[in-house]
A and B are shown apart, each in its own frame.
Chain A
Amino acid sequence: MTRFYRWPIRLTSLALCLLFWQVAASQRLDFGLLTFTYVPTPSSVAQAAVALVESSKLWAHLSSSLLRVFAGYITAALFGVVLGVAIGRWKWAEDTLLPPLEVLRPIPAVAWIPLAILMFPSSELSMVFITFTGALFPVLLNTVHGVEGVDPRLIASARSLGAGRWAILREVVLPGAAPSIVTGLAIGMGTSWFCLVTAEMISGQFGIGYYTWESYTIQNYPDIIVGMLLIGVLGMGSSALVKHLGGLLTPWYRGASR
């Protein structure tokens, strides 16, 4: 538990930042390298946010972004965990699956956008693919890491107690790797949002990323920041959701710290 007396300082810090933003934007401060001339003030951003909430557009943008993220993310989570367990557990899987994946891994998901547009019949699918690519590698690598990190003594002693191949996978390897898998899923959630927003800016028709970029092109500057804040809130919310679900899946982890 955080002690209460620290909260006033934290809130003051946040308020000071807001105040600086308000002053800098309303005075159109110009530092040469960095200028606040076109930056909207916090109050105008708040007004734009209220306007967006009251309009009917918000739900259309939100739902299309959420749908894409979850389609891409859930596919990536499935692939990442299944491939990761195979690679971490079996040498033949490591030798056949890992080399191509290692070649693809350093390519940022965003760099896939042009090719994805060419490869997929609809821009919708290409955006889901970009989201998938963004989440796949964090999930995959953390799963491999978790599976390889399972204490060999636990596996040996489970075998001594009569566990077969699948029982070891189910009873020892998967739960042993679970904390690491949950970490991968949480990181993957963040990267898939990041990739989705970028993809939407380039080829979307609805969605938060599209909304943000559109606001720039039609010079609705307060809306840019509303979009940015929405992206932040959604990313944070879905990461928190993943962490919470992960915590429910690994209850012994909390038991251990007691």
Chain B
Amino acid sequence: MTSQEHFLSAGRIDVERLTIRLGEGAQAFEAVQALDFSVAAGEFVCILGPSGCGKSTLLGALAGHLQPSAGVLRVDGEAVAGPSPARGMVFQHHTLLPWRSVLDNVAFGLKMQGLNKAARQQQARDFLGLVGLQDFATRWPNQLSGGMQQRAEIARVLINRPRLLLMDEPFGALDAQTRGRMQELLLEIWGRIRTTVVFVTHDIDEALFLADRILVMSPRPGRFIEDLRLDFARPRRAELLTSPAFTHLKRHCLELLRHEEGRELPRLTPLGLPSDHPPLRIAL
């Protein structure tokens, strides 16, 4: 595993006056408005906010899937222009290719780099080991449980040695127990591969458990209303969830988010507005 245990000094994010408009015509709105923030290299940041507040939109822009309407995003001083393997993205539901085995899925990024089959499969096996899936290399993605699919997804992104790991509620669709285990696993991996993590969630416990720093966001237009630094000792264990300091901060976050209650907004995605299903066409 020596190949992965490298510390990257890279992964600094600088965002200036970032505005992203979504929708067309009269329906258009500013999903995020005039955001200014920086993230230090190697930091674990959670963006916390209610559904539809624009946190996923921000993540999509960091990944390069959405174009800013105004402002700039810089990663290590370079403006973001389009998707890149240096900025890996994990969606809420896995995006493993159903027609590739788990191993080939994890090796996908290396295949795109032009590595030969033996070399990329060897590395993919290492990364599958890192997420505890070494015994499932030959399965199809659909044969894995939801938690395993997300683990494979994380391995697939990390194999590209990204400077940023962007995660859009990656454990939101998992049951509570699996979610807890995945959070611990993610922290363990992050302990070994110190990449910058931007983790979007609406779960206060999750944000408090994982992050060095929480940016709390309010919706329409999406803006940060709090920048919270956490100094719980690492490595963190599940006991932290019941400690007084944790409860105190949780109450503070609940207070912040309470203002937004009663406003039901449609969920936004890192690719923009949730896409309508294509109309049913009888193809004869």
Contact = CB atoms under 8 A, between A and B. Distances in A.
B97 A154 contact: yes
B99 A178 contact: yes
A153 B271 contact: yes
Contact of B83 (A138, A160, A183, A255): A160
Contacts of A158: 97, 108
Interface stretch (B40-48, B85-93, B216-224): B85-93
Interface string B268-279: 011100010010
B278 A149 contact: yes
B157 interface: yes
A162 interface: yes
B246 to A, nearest CB: 33
Given A161-B85, A161-B108, A161-B112, A171 B275 contact: no
Interface in B54-111: 63-65, 82-85, 87-89, 91, 93, 95, 97-100, 108-109
Contact of A162 (B143, B160, B284): B160
A256 B112 contact: no
B140 interface: yes
A159 interface: yes
B242 interface: no
B143 A160 contact: no
A175 B278 contact: no
A105 to B, nearest CB: 10
Q: Give the 4 A-B CB pairs with smallest separation, nearest first.
A: A255-B140, A162-B112, A157-B95, A141-B283
Contact of A151 (B88, B95, B109, B160): B95
A149 B275 CA distance: 11
Contact of A252 (B65, B87, B99, B271): B99
Contacts of B243: none
A79 to B, nearest CB: 16
Contact of B65 (A142, A156, A171): A156
A117 interface: no
A161 B124 CA distance: 14
Contacts of A89: none
B230 to A, nearest CB: 28
B283 A255 contact: no
B247 interface: no
Given A160-B63, A184-B283, A255-B143, A167 B87 contact: no
A220 interface: no
B278 to A, nearest CB: 5
Interface string A131-168: 00000011001101100110111101111111110010
B281 interface: yes
Contacts of B91: 153, 157
Contacts of B157: 160-161
Contact of B160 (A154, A156, A161, A178): A161
A151 B91 CA distance: 13
A142 B282 CA distance: 9
A156 B281 contact: no
B278 A141 contact: no
Nearest to A154: B95
